[in-house]
Chains A and B, each alone.
Chain A
C-alpha cells in the first residue's frame, strides 16, 4: 500500500515552454501533497504544500507564478513549470500524506520523481 506515482518520469523541453508534472496517490486519499526539488548532490528542498480544494502554500523564495500547483482531487496534484529555463532543470519529487487514521498521520510517501531538463 501507500503508492505514489509521478508522470512523466523524465522530460526534456526547450527554454520558454511549460511542463506539467502529475502526482497521484494510487491506493489512498491525500488531502495534502508536497512538492520538492533536488539539485545534484543536494538534499530535498520543499517548494510548496498542496491542499486539495485550496491554494498551495509556497516556501520562501519559490515563485508561485512560475510553479503552478493544482490539487483538484484527493488523489491528484499537478505542478506546472511555466516558461522553463535551464536553471529550472532539476529532479522534482512529490509526496503524499495518507489521510487514513490510525497510524502515523504525518508520514509522507514519495513518488519516483521527475527529471526535468530544460535546453
Chain B
C-alpha cells in the first residue's frame, strides 16, 4: 500500500525560529510532491509543490526533496504565530491522485 508518513506533532517552535517539517513516502515512482497548510475547520491551502531533487524556495518557505531517500521536507523561516496550523504532505504516485499524510501540527508561540 502506498503511504505517506508524517510525525503528528505537535511541533512547537518560538516565534522567529525555523520550523522543520518532514515527510517520507513509500513509492519510489512518486512524481509530484506538495505541502498544504490546513487551519482548524478549513480546507487545505497549497503552499509549495516540488518535482525534482533539491531545494525550492518561496518567500519564507523552502521545500526540499530527496528522491533517493524518499524524503521531502518543508522549512519555515522566521516562524510566526499565524503559521500555527496542520501541515499536510501529499504525494502523487502513478496517477494524479493525491495521497495525504496525516499531517504535522505546528505551534508557534510568541
Chain A residues near B (Cβ < 8 Å): 32, 34, 42-46, 49, 93, 95, 97, 104-113, 115
Q: Does B62 contact A (CB under 8 A)?
A: no
Known: A104-B32, A104-B49, A107-B34. A46 touches B44 (CB 8 A): no
Known contacts A43-B103, A46-B98; decide if A107 and B88 are in contact (CB<8 Å). Answer: no
Are B42 and A113 within 8 A (Cβ)?
yes
CA distance A115 to B45 in the complex (A): 17
Interface centre among A43, A46, A108, A115 (most CB of B within 10 A): A43
CB-based nearest A residue for B99: A46
Report B42-98 residues with CB < 8 Å from chain A CB.
42-46, 49, 51, 88, 92, 96-98
- Least Cβ distance of B4 to chain A in Å? 9
Does B102 have its Cβ within 8 Å of any Cβ on chain A? Answer: yes
A-B pairs, 5 with minimum CB distance: A113-B43, A110-B43, A43-B102, A43-B100, A106-B96
Contacts between chains A and B (CB distance < 8 A), count: 47
Residues of A within 8 A of B101 (CB): 43
Cα distance, A108 to B49, chains bound together (Å): 10
Q: Given A42-B102, A43-B102, A44-B88, decide whether A109 and B96 contact each other with a Cβ distance below 8 A.
A: no
If the complex has contacts A34-B97, A42-B102, are A107 and B46 also in contact, measured as CB distance less than 8 A? yes
Q: Is the CB of A112 within 8 A of B46?
A: no
B32, B41, B42: which contacts A106 (Cβ < 8 A)?
Answer: B32
Choose from A44, A49, A107, A113 the contact partner of B49 (Cβ within 8 Å). A107
Kindly supply a per-residue 1/0 record for chain B positions 10-34, scoring 1 wherever the CB is within 8 Å of any chain A CB and 0 otherwise: 0000000000000000000001101
Give Cα A97–Cα B32 distance, bound, in whole angstroms: 14
Bound together, the chains give a CA A73 to CA B13 distance in angstroms of 46
